[in-house]
Amino acid sequence: MKVLFHILKFKILFVIKSQGNFNLSSVIKSLGVITVYSIFVVGVYVLAKNIIAYLLEDVKIGMYLFHRFIFVVLFIFFMAVNIGNIVVSYSTFFKTKEVDFLLTTPLSFTKIFLVKFFDNFFYSSSTLLLIISAVIASYSFYFGLPWYFIPFALSFIILPFMFIAGMLGAIILLIIMRVAARFGIKKVLVTLATVYASATILFYYFSSPVNLITKVFQYFPNMNNYFGFLENPIVKLLPNHWVAESLYWITTGKDYAAGWYIYLLIITSVLFFLFSLLIAKKWFYKTWLVFLNLSSELSVKKKKNSKVFFSFENNSSLKPRREALIKRELLLFIREPSQWSHFIVMIFLISIFILSISSVDVIILKSYDVYLKALVYLVIYLFNVFLIASLSIRFIFPLVSLEGETIWKVRSAPLNYKKLMLTRLFIYFLVIFIIGQVLNFVSNYQFSVPLAAISQLNTAFVTITLVSLNFGMGAMFANYKERNPIRVASSQGASLTFLFTIIYLVFLIILLFAPVSNYFYAIERGSLISISQLLYTSFMLGAVTLLFSYLSISKGVRHFNNDV
C-alpha cells in the first residue's frame, strides 16, 4: 500500500502544480472559481429544499412516494455512473502513456488498476459529488436531521452506492475485453447493449411510477404510511432501493431499520472492490494485450478497406475544402472509440429518459393542480435542456483542444481558421440540435399545438446558446496537450462551464415559470390569451440567444487565434 499512496501523492501534486504558477493572476482566477462554485452550491441547496417542500407540503405526495421518486432518479444516476465508467476506463486503462509506463515498473497489475480507477472516479465525479452534497444538506435541514447526517450520508450511503456503480463498470470493461478476444468486439458490444436495454425496460416494467401512484392513492388520505408491500420484490435487490429505503427510515426516526440497508450498501461495495482486485490481478495485463491486438487488427482492416463511406476518394456536391473538413471531422470521430462509444452511451441514457416521459405525461394530463402541471412540465423541459447541456459539454467543449499538436499545421496551412472552427462547430451543433428537437417533441406532443410549437422554438434557442457557451469556454480553457476528450470534458474549465449552465437553467426557470403557469390556468378557463405571453418569452429568449451566441463564438475564435 505504501507504493500505492506514493503514486497517489504525486498525482495530487501534479494536479496542483499543473494549475500554473502562484501569482496574483492565478490567485484572482482561483478566487473567482471558488466564488462561482460557492454560489452554485447555495443555489442547488435552495432549489432542492424548495422542491422537497413543494412536493410534500403543496402536492402532499407523502413520504413514501417522495422516496420512490428518489428511487427512480437514483436508478438513472446509477446507470449513468456505471456506463460512464466503462467508457472512461477504456480510455484511461488502455490508451494512456501513463499505463504504458507503469507496466514497465515493478508494480502489480492490481495497483495499476487501483491508481487508474481512483483517478477516473474522483477526477470525473468531483462536480457531481458537490451537487450531491448540496442536495443532501438541503434534505438534512428540511427534515431537521442532525448536522453529522450530512458527512454520514455521503460517506456510508452515497459513496458506497457510487462505488458499486463505478466498480461494476470497471469489472464489466475487463470482462468485455477478455470475451472480445474470443468472440469479437462487435458481437460483445451488441450483446452488452441488448442486456442494458433489457435491464432498463424490465426496471420500468417492475417499478412503474404510474402504477405505484395509482395503488398508493387508493389509501388516500393516509399518504405517509409505508407501502413497501405494493412493490415488486425484485426491485428490493437493487442498490438504489437500498439508498431510498435507508433515507426513508432515517427521516421517519427508525434508524435501526435503515441500518440493514446501509449495511447492504457497504458490504456490497466492499465485495465489488475485492472482486475487482481479483479480476484485475488475473486479467488486467491480458486485457491490455487484447487491446493492442484489436488495435493492430483494426488498422490492418482499414488498410485493406481504405475506401470507406466517408473516404476522401468519394466525390460529393460540396466544395473541395469544405468537403475535406467535414470528412476529416467525421473520420476522426469514427476512429476514436472514446468518442463514438460515449456518444452511444449518452443516446442510450436519453432513450431511458424518453421511455420515462410517457408515464410523467400521464401524471400531468390527469392532474387537476395547475401548479403541479406547470412544475412537472418545467422539470421535464429542464431535464431536456440538461441532456442537451451534457452533450454540449462532452462534445463541444473539447472541440478546440482536440486539435492537439496539429494546431501548428492548421495555423501554418493556407486555410481560413475561422471557417475551419465554425465548420467543425456546425457539424456537432447539427447533431445536438436534432437530438434536442426530438427530445422536446417526445415531451410535448401530447399537449396543444401552440405550446408544442413554442417549446420547439425555445429548445432551438437554448441549444444554440449552450453550444456557443461550450465552444467559447472550451477555447478559453483549451489544452492542446491532452489527447483524451473525456478528460478535457472533466477539467476545471468544463466544471466552470457546467456551473454557468446551471445558472442559465435558473434563468430559464425564472423566465418560463409565470407564462407556463398562466398558460395552464388559461387552458382550465378555456382561454388562449396566455399564448401571447409565451410568444413574448420566446422573443426575449431569442434576443438573449443572439447576443450571447455572438459574444461566445467570437470570443472562442479570438482565443483560438491568440493561444497559437
Tens of pLDDT, residues 89-131: 887 888 777 888 888 888 888 888 888 888 777 766 666 777 8
Give dist(CA 101, CA 105) in Å, integer. Answer: 7
- What is the pLDDT confidence band of residue 27, given thresholds at 50, 70 and 90? low
Same domain, 312 and 302: no
Report the pLDDT value the prediction gives residue 270, as an integer from 0 to 100. 93
Same domain, 247 and 317: no
Give dist(CA 399, CA 479) in Å, integer. Answer: 10
Same domain, 487 and 385: yes
**Alpha-carbon distances, residue 230 vs 74, 214, 307, 361, 488 (angstroms):** 19, 11, 58, 23, 45
Identity at 295, one-letter amino acid code: S
Place of cell 448536522: 147
Is the omega angle on the peptide bond into residue 221 within 30 degrees of 0, that is, cis? Answer: yes
Does some domain include residue 330?
yes
**Which set of grid coordinates corresponds to residue 176?**
468485455
Identity at 310, one-letter amino acid code: F
Does some domain include residue 426?
yes
Does some domain include residue 217?
yes
CA-CA-CA-CA dihedral for 48, 243, 159, 138, to nearest 10: 20
Range of the structural domain that residue 471 is part of: 308-564
Answer whether 477's CB lies under 8 Å from 557's CB: no
Does some domain include residue 32?
no
Does some domain include residue 18?
no
Same domain, 295 and 344: no
Give dist(CA 123, CA 132) in Å, integer. Answer: 16
Same domain, 531 and 476: yes
Same domain, 268 and 396: no
Same domain, 180 and 160: yes
Same domain, 358 and 258: no
Report the pLDDT value the prediction gives residue 136, as an integer from 0 to 100. 92
Instruction: Using CB atoms within 10 Å of the CB of residue 413, give its burial: 0 to 12 exposed, 13 to 18 middle, 19+ buried.
Output: exposed
Give dist(CA 59, CA 80) in Å, integer. Answer: 29
Same domain, 235 and 328: no
To the nearest whole number, what is the mean pLDDT of the chain? 77
> Mind listing the pLDDT tens digit for each residue in 187-214?
887 788 788 777 777 777 777 666 666 6
Query: Which residue, of 263, 283, 306, is where some domain finishes?
Result: 306
Nearest to 176 by CA among 167, 166, 187, 165: 187
Answer whether 519's CB lies under 8 Å from 533's CB: yes
Q: pTM for this one?
A: 0.73
Please give the tally of structural domains in the chain.
2
Answer whether 502's CB lies under 8 Å from 43's CB: yes
As a whole number, mean pLDDT of residues 332-338 equals 71
Give dist(CA 397, CA 94) in Å, integer. Answer: 23
Give dist(CA 495, CA 463) in Å, integer. Answer: 19
Q: What is the number of residues in the chain?
A: 564
Give dist(CA 393, CA 400) in Å, integer. Answer: 12
Does some domain include residue 1?
no
Report the pLDDT value the prediction gives residue 267, as an integer from 0 to 100. 95
